[in-house]
A and B are shown apart, each in its own frame.
Chain A
Amino acid sequence: MNHYSILRIAAKLLIPYILLYGLYVQFHGDFGPGGGFQAGVIFASGIILYGLVFGPEAARRVAPAGIVDRLIAVGVLVYAGTGVAGMLKGGQFLDYNVLAHDSTHGQHLGILLVELGVGITVSAVMVTIFFAFAARERTE
């Protein structure tokens, strides 16, 4: 799509705001609508838009397979790790009350961490699915 300059410039203008909005939905999900799942999808759509306009090769340089593949697992590990951290601190699995000095702060911290895990896994999987489709060759 090298010659569609309007598309390229519009995409370049939009992508930072899409990524920023993804982060906002991620970390503001405790207070407004949204959370890790929606944030992950929005963040991934920023990268996918880049891939659609500038080509999968350019997007692969932004999100290399080696990193994205690992991030899929990292998200689940962050989630489960938060649960294990609760066990190490003397509570039960996924008990956030013990994570901080008082139970409410512990809950806030735990929810923030597990939502972060969800967001990482979701956005990595969405980007992976896009590349899996985009990298395939056209079959008649």
Chain B
Amino acid sequence: MTEPIATRLIVILLLALLGWTEVTIARMRQLWAAVMLTGIFSFLGAGWMLILDAPDVAFTEAAVGAGIATFLMLATLGLTTREAKSPTAFKPLPLVVVIATGIVLVYGTLDMPHYGDRQAHIHTYPEPSYITKSNAEIQLPNIVTAILASYRGYDTLGETTVILTAGVGVILLLRNERRKPRDGVDPTAESTT
């Protein structure tokens, strides 16, 4: 890798801040501050993805992770308490599970190609044609959009349907507007009879 030393320093700084934010969130009992820190975590992650030349992913992370997710967690906090319960006693089993999962994940990364490797699987399969062909076939400057919306249009249609399903699920499970008593009859009383 022939990155400028400044880029490396920024990456190290970002990753260190990411790790520090994670640990702080895990140790924190004040849920308000924890929610704000998750937003900061997403912004740091977005900055790091920008350095990895993935502006579309960084954009999504910033909009969804730092934007909507923070909003939704704040809205949830409005419904519950602002303080987490302090742990009653030290439990060894969760620690073992977390460490084991971490070891498995790190072991999984050993098989991954190095960053910027031209021979990596994603650059050779199906063939390096998306980059060369989309220039002639679709002529869009943003190849990510060309791939997502055109070459993989079926995938994106499926993803949009997943979001539709999520919306329908939220409406069915969480919306309580219809549970208001109609004509003076309590619907919960109906269901029990």
Contacts and interface: CB of A to CB of B under 8 A. Distances in A.
Nearest to B154: A94
Nearest to A119: B160
Contact of A33 (B55, B72, B175): B55
Contact of B163 (A38, A65, A125, A132): A125
Interface string A115-140: 10110011011101111111111110
B142 interface: yes
Interface string B140-176: 1110111011100110110111011011101100111
Contact of B78 (A65, A75, A138): A138
B145 A115 contact: yes
Interface residues of B, number: 47
Chain A contact patch, size range: 35 or more
B30 interface: no
Contacts of A38: 56, 59-60, 63-64
B127 interface: no
Interface in B62-102: 63-64, 67-68, 71-72, 74-76, 78-80
B160 A75 contact: yes
Interface residue SS majority, chain B: helix
Contact of B167 (A31, A72, A83): A72
A107 B174 contact: no
A98 interface: no
Contacts of B160: 75-76, 79, 117-118, 121-122
Given A38-B60, A132-B170, A29 B145 contact: yes
B137 to A, nearest CB: 7
7 contacts: A42-B67, A75-B160, A107-B150, A121-B163, A125-B163, A133-B174, A135-B176
Given A103-B137, A135-B177, 5 more contacts: A35-B148, A41-B68, A94-B157, A129-B170, A133-B174
